[in-house]
Chain A
């Protein structure tokens, strides 16, 4: 503590002049230190009412524009080099708090549940207008093929200042936006009817203004899921509707043709209250309120081999796994993952499943040991809260807000900072508590709350 005003008493005269101000030389005594300490100003960096901030982090392949950082693709300063891959989480500045995000095949959608006019932003590939029509600034008649920055997507809402966007989902070349009272909006490629409208021959999808609205379902739609070229809708009453490409049976309607109007699924899920649906490639999984798992679609990678030998299943079949009550399921391109009520994670399918390099394929779910997710005798109450799937990657979120990833590290999409594939769950260092994560083919987006 540098005492302001400690004067060295040099001479007698000085001492007589500044009596009371001058102090004897030498090391400051305890009392002086204490007084100096009490006199120093106190800084306040955060008050009691400081809120935790919401942030978005992105990582993966950036040349498609899917990360939303234009300087990675077109550097704005001469000395910067274009960054092809972002190997670790990078913060993306957004105007509003993002409540839902989805990664497609080379593009991303971010949505906020605000009542402002702009509710959905998109970035990345736009060759099939999966991000709506983005008017080019250089030529007002044309649209952008690649959107490098989060750009607002204008939705044709009836009440734009009252409707809220609940969820977004992206497939290979189409995207779905779910609102609370105005149904589902679809845009993008419709060559297989995945947008829920009739297929028009030789339709040109790029620079298209068309955004279709779907309203007629048995009850309100509460979840939308995009597979590679098909769409699934889950309604409040527990029913599932599908439309789009069906050659692998992923529409689950009993045939292998394309469907252009959302039709209700039957099979083993008829009459069952489904609480979650998931799909990303050509296989689909549904979870009922009683914890049963139903699957349909592609089974070339043993995803449904527990019930059938055929490689395509076009009717939902119950998967009789004895692993406990299932809470959440996620489907990837070749592998599937489920989370049970006890917090255990089970994987099956083909590829890097997360149990070391020796486990390549299995038809029966295998459990990933909970010690890999941070649970130890020091912190026994750590368990997995959510599971997500990309095309060949898996992600798990724990209740402590940590993100674990594993799978094929395609163009740095795992976010570990290394380019190698990861054979067992690995922690991703994110400066904050991860609330949700969306996995794509070669990039990932996460919604994070800051620590303090």
Chain B
């Protein structure tokens, strides 16, 4: 970053003594535009000595996926994005037949159960119920009086969501793959932690009269940032980062304007 051409030094007008044009020892003051000495690179030093980097929504050690970072002035945008309370989308992989203490497949085994009675239909029924109860929680924590006309109109459009602190809420669940004993879900949620998602997988297992552990949690969308915007490990260089920031700028601005007004 420091090697990139910096700002041009400021110029100012100074009255410098210069020898008079008609000879002799007389000294005249001539106006000349000279660079300010304080802006000289040797005086100023390197432009960036440290960078302030802030992190967006937390991501577990065992989880993977999109992780939003803010650099410098972007940290202010981070707080604004947090206040927008946008949903995040995860791909959660699960395995039937085991129950562990920390709900993931690397934990201490507690119980093993059969799972051949589970069908995709039963799983989808449970997912529908989860969505239903969370829908109620969504309406309740949004702190809008249910008796007003605007509450009705927001509910019709589906725009009610809690704009403050609330327990984790799942706005939508879908089963992507189902091959006993494995299954994969796509979960849209608000205010959640990855451990909460693993607990949900465990509870789905219990509800189906079996047990389940979570094998994979991957965030594929965080508000406006999707997998396409995210940089891979091989792309962590200045050029890609600058391009990525430019590409996302417009999206972030429009989203902030829409939600926070």
Residues of A within 8 A of B (CB): 1, 36-37, 40-48, 50, 355-358, 369, 371-372, 374, 376, 378-379, 400-402, 420-424, 426-427, 429, 433, 451-452
Contact = CB atoms under 8 A, between A and B. Distances in A.
Interface string B120-140: 001001101101110110010
Contact of B152 (A40, A355, A452): A355
A42 B211 CA distance: 11
Interface string B173-189: 01000000000000010
Given A372-B156, A423-B146, A429-B133, A43 B114 contact: yes
Contacts of B135: 374, 427
Contacts of B146: 420, 422-423
Given A45-B113, A423-B152, 17 more contacts: A40-B111, A44-B113, A47-B114, A48-B117, A358-B149, A372-B156, A374-B131, A379-B128, A400-B125, A400-B128, A402-B132, A420-B147, A421-B147, A423-B147, A424-B155, A429-B133, A451-B129
B117 A357 contact: no
A19 B131 CA distance: 57
Given A357-B149, A429-B133, A371 B111 contact: no
B112 A41 contact: yes
The majority secondary structure among interface residues of chain A is loop
A44 B128 contact: no
B208 interface: yes
A42 B114 contact: yes
B108 interface: yes
B147 A451 contact: no
A421 B97 CA distance: 45
Given A48-B117, A50-B209, A451-B207, A43 B111 contact: yes
A402 B136 CA distance: 12
18 contacts: A37-B109, A40-B111, A44-B114, A46-B114, A356-B148, A357-B147, A357-B148, A369-B156, A371-B156, A378-B172, A378-B188, A379-B128, A400-B128, A401-B128, A402-B128, A420-B146, A420-B147, A451-B129
B117 A46 contact: yes
Contacts of A427: 132, 135-136
A452 B113 CA distance: 16
A378 B132 contact: no
